[in-house]
């Protein structure tokens, strides 16, 4: 088998990150030969593919066309499906999405952690499966992603091809898919997207480039509250231009009364992040408010808040149930962000101590605590990649009975794992957005005297390959 060769492939399995799996058969024997991964295919498809990579233990191929369709395929809702990488599973029946996510999540614990003696609870699906996000972050770009048919007409390109607002094309940091719709957020979201594009393009406003470090427009972040119906726009620019942004603010305020606040973050750095060196509130109070479990949270432009509000409440409820609290516990909340989990748990424990690296998030957590009268919560700014023990000792904090950890995708630093083992809580509830790194950390915790009791996968992001999982570990011989 050579790179560039075109073959017909039966897709029989499904891999993490949304790739169909087939096998290049040897002598026609079923199951023999190398595994071949093909994006855009599902089990049951028969596809014509071109080999793009040849490794010692697998092949990768690009889909040319489908010769036969899987019975699990459904009609995708979005016109950008197949180009945009945000919803790779949109053409797969949702029940099948859940089945594959459930199996992939548990496979990590068996393959990476070497654990099988735990209770695997059924995956919790999402409802709704569209319009579930409360935040969309779009990028402005000077290079619009063009389809093959558009590239064939390259001589007819015009200036509008050099102005795009949307999401990055998969694997391309400098090309933007010029989105006209997106069904991950309520339709007001893409109405604001299209209006913002039209406003600035009609005025010939420049787009920022990291290469030349010039240009004005960088990002558009749209957030909404499921509880109050408030909407926030955060326009991120490369420099301050009060006259233009005020004009934009007036236009938005007049055209879309549901937008309650507009903020301008000015990012003077080359780093492509949707935060600024300083921010200015153009109108409104600079934040929106949403609820999880009866608790209200103020969400500022750069606050971390669970992207799927409705599913977050279910996720936290699972974590609460796993912890089976009596009301007398001291709880530690690692990677506490803006304090959502700590405050959600505060009415069920004696005291919660939250630890977070991002100082602005710690500030938000303190404000959210006051906002909800959660007096039994205390938050600390802490570098979780170094030891927490000096901070705990300096503040004479009581040792935890229960510890909840919700780290980013790369999981916990080894120092944090060792801190947890030294703190020796009776129960650990580990929430993760990446079961692979979660399984890696759980393996270390089991080596440190803990047993994995149960795991429950939770689908926070339908139509994507992302999956969350909640795991309960107990100290050996403690319960």
Q: How does pLDDT run across 355-412, given as a tens digit for each residue? A: 999 888 899 999 999 999 999 999 999 999 999 999 999 999 999 999 999 999 999 9
Structure confidence at residue 160 (pLDDT): 58
Same fold, 6-68 and 99-128+308-475: no
Neighbours of 451 (CB within 10 A): 17
Structure confidence at residue 155 (pLDDT): 52
**Helix/strand/coil for 385:** coil
Arithmetic mean of pLDDT over the chain: 92
How far apart (Å, rounded) are the C-alpha atoms in residues 35 and 59? 6
> In which band, very low, low, confident or very high, does the pLDDT at 272 lie, cut at 50, 70 and 90?
confident
Which is catalytic among the residues 36, 84, 336, 433?
Answer: 433
Determine what percent of the chain is predicted with pLDDT higher than 90: 81
Structure confidence at residue 69 (pLDDT): 97
C-alpha distances in Å from residue 232, one per residue of 169, 196, 227, 314: 25, 13, 14, 25
The whole-model pTM stands at 0.91
Give the dihedral sign, CA 32/35/39/43.
positive
Structure confidence at residue 28 (pLDDT): 42
Q: What ranges do the domains of the chain cover?
A: 6-68, 99-128+308-475, 135-292
The class of domain 6-68 in CATH terms is mainly beta
Structure confidence at residue 169 (pLDDT): 87
17 pLDDT more than 80: no
> In which band, very low, low, confident or very high, does the pLDDT at 30 lie, cut at 50, 70 and 90?
very low
162 pLDDT more than 60: yes
Determine what percent of the chain is predicted with pLDDT higher than 70: 95
**Helix/strand/coil for 59:** strand
C-alpha distances in Å from residue 19, one per residue of 35, 258, 298: 12, 40, 38
Q: Which CATH number does 99-128+308-475 carry?
A: 3.40.50.150
Structure confidence at residue 26 (pLDDT): 58
Helix (H) or strand (E) holding 244: helix 242-255
Q: Which CATH number does 135-292 carry?
A: 2.40.50.1070
147 pLDDT more than 70: no
84 is catalytic: no
Structure tokens at 472: 């309960």
Structure confidence at residue 173 (pLDDT): 73
How far apart (Å, rounded) are the C-alpha atoms in residues 278 and 275? 8
296 pLDDT more than 60: yes
- 48-67 pLDDT, tens digit per residue, is 999 999 988 899 999 999 99
Give the residue, 29 or 442, on which the prediction is more confident: 442
């Amino acid at each position: 088998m050579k790179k560039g060769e075109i073959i017909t492939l039966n897709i029989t399995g499904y891999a993490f990150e949304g790739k169909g799996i087939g096998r290049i058969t040897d002598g026609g024997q079923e199951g023999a030969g190398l595994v071949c991964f093909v994006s855009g295919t599902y089990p049951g498809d028969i596809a014509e593919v071109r080999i793009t990579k040849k490794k010692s233990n697998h092949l990768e191929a690009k889909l040319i066309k489908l010769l036969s369709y899987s019975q699990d395929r459904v009609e995708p809702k979005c016109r950008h499906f197949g180009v945009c990488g945000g919803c790779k599973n949109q053409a797969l029946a949702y029940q099948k999405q859940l089945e594959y996510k459930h199996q992939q999540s548990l496979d990590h614990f068996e393959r990476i952690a070497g654990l099988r003696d735990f209770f695997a609870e059924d995956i919790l699906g999402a409802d709704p499966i569209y319009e579930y996000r409360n935040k969309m972050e779009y990028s402005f770009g000077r290079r619009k992603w063009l389809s093959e048919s558009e590239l064939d007409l390259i001589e007819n390109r015009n200036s509008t091809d050099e102005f795009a607002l949307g999401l990055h094309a998969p694997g391309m940091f400098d090309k933007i898919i010029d989105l006209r719709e997106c069904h991950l957020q309520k339709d007001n979201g893409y109405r604001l997207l299209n209006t913002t594009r039209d406003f600035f393009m009609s005025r010939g406003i420049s787009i920022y480039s990291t290469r030349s470090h010039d240009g004005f427009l960088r990002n558009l972040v749209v957030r909404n509250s499921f509880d109050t119906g408030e909407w926030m726009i955060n326009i991120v620019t490369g420099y301050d231009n009060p006259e233009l942004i005020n004009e934009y603010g007036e236009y938005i305020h007049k055209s879309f009364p549901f937008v309650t606040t507009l903020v301008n973050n000015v990012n003077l750095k080359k780093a492509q992040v949707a935060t600024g060196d300083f921010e200015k509130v153009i109108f409104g109070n600079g934040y929106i408010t949403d609820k999880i479990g009866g608790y209200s949270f103020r969400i500022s432009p750069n606050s971390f808040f669970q992207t799927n509000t409705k599913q977050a409440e279910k996720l936290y409820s699972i974590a609460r149930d796993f912890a089976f609290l009596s009301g007398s516990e001291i709880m530690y909340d690692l990677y506490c962000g803006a304090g959502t989990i700590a405050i959600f748990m505060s009415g069920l424990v004696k005291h919660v101590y939250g630890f977070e690296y991002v100082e602005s998030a710690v500030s938000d957590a303190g404000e959210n605590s006051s906002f909800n009268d959660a007096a039994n919560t205390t938050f600390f700014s802490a570098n979780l990649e170094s030891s927490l023990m000096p901070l705990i000792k300096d503040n004479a904090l009581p040792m935890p009975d229960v510890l909840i950890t919700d780290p980013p995708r790369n999981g916990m630093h080894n120092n944090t794992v060792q801190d947890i083992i030294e703190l020796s809580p009776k129960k650990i509830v580990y929430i993760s957005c990446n079961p692979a790194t979660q399984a890696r950390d759980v393996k270390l915790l089991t080596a440190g005297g803990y047993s994995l009791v149960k795991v429950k996968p939770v689908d926070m992001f339908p139509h994507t390959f992302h999956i969350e999982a909640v795991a309960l570990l107990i100290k050996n011989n403690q319960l």
